[in-house]
């Protein structure tokens, strides 16, 4: 195959667009789409100045998605005095797996000369995911515990660092899977929360003081293209699946999505296009009721819809074992 733009050997073929691209034009295409998403979602506010810069905290796990995101953000904004960036890595206590990915985070941050902070479940909560997965007091998938703890630390440290926004490396596959899960579960209220939390453009969201706003600049890039970009750029990404990964419903959705995309290229893009519009309409419907339900957790002070937040209830269950 030859590149559609220059005639050199192509390294990829995008079934959803029909494009054949060489290494240079493929990498440029990924970067252009990420920067386009940053502009479309209004990540850089008009009032950001060198004297009062915007501060972004980037969730850097060491996997391909977060490494590619951090690399492109640095390439785009490292010399922009209006933007400050901090990479935040969370060690869950998964022996071997997370140790290697932390090494990748440290290597990348040093190469980019970016501020890098590391926090651990063990220091913050007194637990390690290896032990939680083995004991499993709630009879849940390990990802269910880990997701709650990770979101709590990302939110708390983003706030502690004075972040204006928190950026994560969710790709197109991740977002399309979440969208389809919400639709199949009939969870319209969750669709509304998704829009205001991380999906909608910032000028269309309902801002809240309780949470640091989130953004996902990679959400237009298919997972395989993220992996190819990391490979071609020789980035220090740790591409290994977590040994505790086991989300049954998401796994089924992932298989369905891959099959649909293979037979009908462009399915993921179509899902997200329609879902974002539906989520925006849902957000308009649920915003007033959602705001009234929030209060502070009695134990840790985190914002929650209950007296005690999910994190504290899980930790209580784990410590009772």
* For residue 290, pLDDT beyond 60: no
Residue 201 · residue 165 · CB < 8 Å: no
Half-sphere exposure of 255 (CA within 13 A, CB side): 5
Residue-wise pLDDT tens digits, 51-74: 999 999 999 999 999 999 999 999
Tokens of 261: 């995309």
Cα separation, 126 vs 42, whole angstroms: 38
**Most confident segment among 85-94, 95-104, 188-197:** 85-94
| Mean predicted lDDT score pLDDT of the chain | 93
Whether the pLDDT of residue 35 is over 80: the answer is yes
**What is the helix (H) or strand (E) element at residue 214, kind and residue range?**
strand 214-215
Which of these ranges, 151-165, 197-211, 305-319, has the smallest mean pLDDT?
Answer: 197-211
Alpha-carbon distance of 88 to 93, in angstroms, equals: 16
Question: Does residue 311 have a pLDDT over 90?
Answer: yes
Query: Which pLDDT value is given to residue 315?
Result: 96
Above pLDDT 70, what percent of the chain?
98
Q: What is the pLDDT of residue 289?
A: 59
The pLDDT value given to residue 291:
54
Q: pLDDT tens digit string along 107-118? A: 999 999 999 999
pLDDT-derived band at 99 (thresholds 50, 70, 90) equals confident
**Residue of 261, 263, 313, 271 lying closest to 181 (CA atoms):** 271
Average pLDDT over every residue of 24-33: 98
Helix ranges, 78-222 (H): 97-112, 121-125, 129-135, 142-160, 172-184, 188-194
Mean pLDDT of 250-254: 90
Among the listed residues 207, 208, 194, 180, the one whose alpha carbon sits nearest the alpha carbon of residue 283: 194
The answer to whether 214 and 58 have CB atoms below 8 angstroms apart is no
Span of 23-32, 204-213, 228-237, 251-260 with lowest mean pLDDT:
204-213
Query: 240 phi and psi, to 5 degrees?
Result: -145, 135
Supply the pLDDT for residue 59: 97
Residue ranges and CATH numbers for the domains of the chain are: 49-319 (3.40.50.620)
């Amino acid at each position: 195959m030859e590149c559609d733009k220059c005639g050199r050997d192509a390294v990829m073929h995008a079934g959803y667009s029909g494009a054949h691209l060489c290494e240079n034009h493929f990498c440029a295409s990924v970067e252009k789409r990420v920067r386009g998403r940053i502009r479309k979602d209004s990540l850089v506010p008009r009032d950001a100045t060198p004297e009062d810069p915007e501060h972004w905290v980037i969730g850097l796990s060491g996997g391909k998605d977060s490494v590619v995101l951090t690399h492109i953000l640095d390439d785009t904004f490292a010399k922009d005095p209006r933007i400050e960036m901090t990479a935040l890595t969370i060690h869950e206590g998964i022996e071997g797996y997370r140790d290697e990915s932390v090494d990748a985070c440290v290597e990348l941050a040093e190469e980019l000369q970016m501020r890098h902070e590391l926090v651990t479940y063990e220091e913050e909560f007194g637990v390690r995911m290896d032990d939680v997965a083995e004991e499993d007091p709630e009879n849940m998938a390990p990802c269910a515990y880990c997701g709650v703890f990770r979101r709590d630390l990302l939110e708390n440290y983003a706030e502690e660092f004075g972040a204006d926004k928190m950026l994560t490396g969710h790709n197109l596959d991740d977002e399309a899977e979440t969208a389809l899960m919400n639709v199949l579960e009939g969870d319209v209220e969750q669709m509304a929360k998704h829009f205001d939390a991380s999906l909608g453009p910032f000028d269309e969201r309902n801002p809240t003081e309780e949470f640091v706003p989130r953004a996902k600049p990679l959400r237009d890039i298919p997972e395989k293209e993220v992996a190819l970009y990391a490979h071609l750029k020789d980035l220090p990404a740790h591409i290994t699946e977590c040994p505790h990964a086991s989300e049954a419903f998401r796994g089924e959705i992932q298989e369905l999505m891959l099959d649909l995309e293979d037979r009908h290229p462009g399915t993921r893009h179509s899902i997200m296009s329609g879902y974002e519009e539906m989520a925006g309409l849902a957000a308009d419907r649920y915003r007033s009721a959602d705001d009234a339900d929030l209060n502070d957790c009695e134990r840790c002070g985190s914002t929650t819809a209950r007296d005690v937040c999910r994190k504290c209830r899980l930790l209580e269950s784990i410590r009772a074992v």
